[in-house]
A and B are shown apart, each in its own frame.
Chain A
Amino acid sequence: MKVLVPVKRVMDYNVKARVKSDGSGIDLANVKMSMNPFDEIAVEEAVRLKEAGVATEVIAVSCGLANCQETLRTAMAIGADRAILVDTDVELQPLAVAKLLKAVADKEAPQLIILGKQAIDDDANQTGQMLAALLGWPQATFASKVVVADGKATVTREVDGGLETLALSLPAVVTTDLRLNEPRYATLPNIMKAKKKPMDTLKPADLGVDVAPRLATVKVSEPPKRSAGIKVADVAQLIAKLKNEAKVI
């Protein structure tokens, strides 16, 4: 069974995001970039499936600038067997990524696609769902446990009321939540081997996908600063304020 793992290169989670002065986006100049943490969990899960003898090959795929290669090397250091870079300098939106991934999936014919439930930069939480829809495959999002056996994936999902367990026929799309696993530290020999693992580079045109943005970013701004609180004299005043000013009760 082949497993495809899409990974996204994002600003490192330790970096404090700064909005560009013209409000056009986040300033990424000279910022440390890493693999989206949810995707790292996806790579780990796929590699565990391979180690358990369930998966035969793990393929990492990333769409974006050429330096996404570093992110793919990281995926291969964790244990992915090979990688595909869809190289483009167009700003990619979830729909475009989903279309690219569909085209890659059509070529590679994986039985399972595991990816992060969302990326920590735009928090869109759309790519996995769109991909499943485009492929016409079943999907299980926010997975906290994945068991693959007998041509089926049994996925436990974290939902508001607790845990939900779904059975999916394969091929299927699974998106990962934080508690699915704890990604390993890559070993030194594997970091060095990752350099020698195969990496293919494709262009969106090779896949017949138009990646032009469909949405325009109007403005990006910092969250409003929290203003100082006040002390209320008594419960009555508190309730009045909650009712009339905050309008929450």
Chain B
Amino acid sequence: MSNYSAPLKDMQFVLNELAGLDKVAQLPGYEEATADVVEAILDEAGKFAGGVLAPLNRIGDQVGAKWKDKAVTMPAGFGEAYQQFVDNGWNSLGCNPEHGGQGLPKVVAAAVQEMWKSANMAFSLCPLLTLGATEALELCGSPEQKHMYLPKMVSGEWTGTMNLTEPQAGSDLAAIRSRAVPVGDGTYKIFGNKIFITYGDHDMTANSIHLVLARTPDAPEGVKGISLFVVPKFMVKADGSLGERNDAYCVSIEHKLGIHASPTCVMAFGDNGGAIGTLVGKENEGLKYMFVMMNAARFSVGLEGLAIGERAYQKAVAYARDRVQCRAIEGSPAPVAIIQHPDIRRMLMEMRSRVEAMRALAYTVAAAHDTAARHPDAAERAKNQAFVDLMIPVVKGWSTETGNELAYLGVQVHGGMGFIEETGAAQYLRDARITTIYEGTTGIQANDLIGRKTAREGGSTLKAVIALLQQTQAAVAQQTGAEFAAIGKALATGIEAVSRAGHYIVANFGSDVRGVSAGAVPFLRLMGIVCGGWMMARAALVAQAKIATGDPDPFFAAKITTARYFADHALAAAPGLAQEIVEGGASTLALPEIMF
């Protein structure tokens, strides 16, 4: 029913041919990430995802996490699967070897994370949050905090949470009210309520380490007065054993549209005298620390869009092959499998091409992240960091919006059966829905893209990306044949659209910020499809080179066909989006508020 088979071949292709795994493996500290080791890792991760995590996806959805007496119980099987996940070392994949991690690059972690998320998105959020908390402590924690928490969080023996949101402080964290009162012994008592805390409580591990944003008594108003604290569920003694239960409880969980197995907790800190916490880094710097990690978290949520799209695609293909209904439109002796009908083909190609484009873009950005972190040349690091910063909102915003569209198409391919929960296609649609919301909505991503990442720097990184796009287009123009002619033409149109919209944004952001911002999400979409088209064009060029050397693998011809589809269908929308951005701001804002 709900089989998941990791798309190893495309993952390997993207890692080796597009993202440049070989170059990443030359960076200091990443020497072990050679193609053969990475292939073995992906193989085994694929088995684990398909054999252990995917079978729990349905039960996780149907039963969900349960709350009783200030504690959360996970659906049957999740605890065992988590233990196995930890025992097999998967939690530590990308973590610092100093604390027991395997120290693999992000580009490898991205492929493996994609598998966890395809197999069981609700499960995958637990290690994801632990990773976020681990990175925060790694970056800003004191030596004592690192020693006390990191080895067990890296292994996964303890999980981590991020406590940011409060009822009045969602997208706007300046409104945080939780308080931290110094006790006098170096610790603080934390008081306040947090909502939407993913895996805030569960029964899979002995301890959870909460990272909590709160204000100290004399803190300045707004964003400049927020500090970060580490608050364990159980206090940790000097010898590492667990002590008293801390005053941090899950007082309820939310009833949600999707990801039912992921407990979304309301956390109460300090209802019984104060939760003991210690300061992470310096006072009033908390939000800055959070922003450092935000790129990683947003990237991971972008992977969720890709991962759900992949899972929905696999299910749709299986159903379309199996379901026999209606004769072929051109005539056939008997009814045929619906995969033969042109409109089903259109939907499957839509899913396939966008999944491949999202994967290529995400892994390429992950590899740039690795280069930005480890390259010996500072200029190379800066260039890659600028690329990553520009692309994070695109990966997050575009991939999650697209993931939703693909989950929608997955249901559509199933027809009436897709609307029936037993079929399983509906779960992907419901699970996908959160991805465009958490870690910054699509609107927030798009504002980041046009403001901080484009207008504020005069579009310099965007121009560098356009130059890269033009290089690929020039390489495409060297090729012969109808496929490359179509790809080249569509890419040229796409580049023109991005240039037109980019110029408009840079020129008008200062004078008409509202009008420009009204086109922020269309610009994010435009960037997504044009960068996706860029990746597909690069993939087609590699495939063509392989075919030219006599490689008979049909994968390569299929890659070119899929790139052509993306050019014909996805890239075709680029000029319209540019038009919407440049011309559409006024009508978006013209209606007086009273008319709504």
Q: Which residues of A contact B (CB under 8 A)?
A: 14, 29-30, 32, 70, 73-74, 77, 185-192, 194-195
Contact = CB atoms under 8 A, between A and B. Distances in A.
18 contacts: A14-B5, A70-B40, A73-B36, A73-B40, A185-B47, A185-B84, A185-B88, A186-B44, A186-B88, A188-B41, A188-B89, A188-B92, A188-B102, A189-B89, A191-B37, A191-B44, A195-B32, A195-B36
B408 interface: no
Given A188-B89, A195-B32, A77 B44 contact: yes
Contacts of B554: 30
Nearest to A14: B5
Contacts of A187: 87-89
B37 A192 contact: yes
Interface string B36-50: 110111011001100
Contacts of A70: 36, 39-40
Contact of B553 (A14, A29, A188, A190): A29
B75 to A, nearest CB: 21
B88 A188 contact: yes
A103 B48 CA distance: 37
Interface in B15-54: 32, 34, 36-37, 39-41, 43-44, 47-48, 51-52
Contacts of A74: 40, 43
A204 to B, nearest CB: 25
A72 B93 CA distance: 23
B419 interface: no
A15 to B, nearest CB: 11
A90 B93 CA distance: 39
Instruction: Specify which of A14, A185, A187 lies most central, judged by the most chain B CB atoms within 10 Å of its CB.
Output: A185
Instruction: Specify which of A14, A30, A74, A194 lies most central, judged by the most chain B CB atoms within 10 Å of its CB.
Output: A30
B371 to A, nearest CB: 22
Contacts of B32: 192, 195
A194 B555 contact: no
A195 B555 CA distance: 28
A189 B88 CA distance: 8
Given A187-B88, A188-B93, A188-B102, A29 B552 contact: yes
Given A32-B8, A73-B40, A185 B48 contact: yes
A191 B41 contact: yes
Contacts of B48: 185
B90 interface: yes
Nearest to B554: A30
Interface residues of B, number: 28
Given A14-B5, A30-B552, A185 B40 contact: no
Nearest to A76: B40
A86 B82 CA distance: 39
A190 B37 CA distance: 11
Instruction: Specify which of A29, A70, A187, A192 lies most central, judged by the most chain B CB atoms within 10 Å of its CB.
Output: A192
B101 to A, nearest CB: 10
A188 B90 contact: yes
A77 B37 CA distance: 11
Contacts of A14: 5
A77 B555 CA distance: 29
Contacts of A32: 8-9
Contacts of B47: 185
B52 A185 contact: yes
A190 B92 CA distance: 13
Nearest to A186: B44
Contacts of B5: 14
Instruction: Specify which of B37, B51, B93 lies most central, judged by the most chain A CB atoms within 10 Å of its CB.
Output: B37
Given A185-B48, A188-B90, 17 more contacts: A30-B555, A70-B39, A73-B40, A77-B44, A185-B44, A185-B84, A185-B88, A188-B92, A188-B102, A191-B41, A191-B44, A192-B32, A192-B37, A192-B102, A194-B40, A195-B34, A195-B40
B104 to A, nearest CB: 8
Interface in B86-107: 87-90, 92-93, 102
Given A30-B553, A185-B84, A195 B51 contact: no
B551 to A, nearest CB: 9
Contacts of B555: 30
A73 B89 CA distance: 18
Contacts of B36: 70, 73, 195
Contacts of B41: 188, 191-192
Nearest to A184: B88
A74 B47 CA distance: 13
Contacts of B92: 188
Interface in B535-560: 552-555
A14 B102 CA distance: 30
A195 B37 CA distance: 7
Nearest to B52: A185
Interface string B331-348: 000000000000000000
Interface string B88-130: 1110110000000010000000000000000000000000000
A246 to B, nearest CB: 28
Interface in B388-424: none
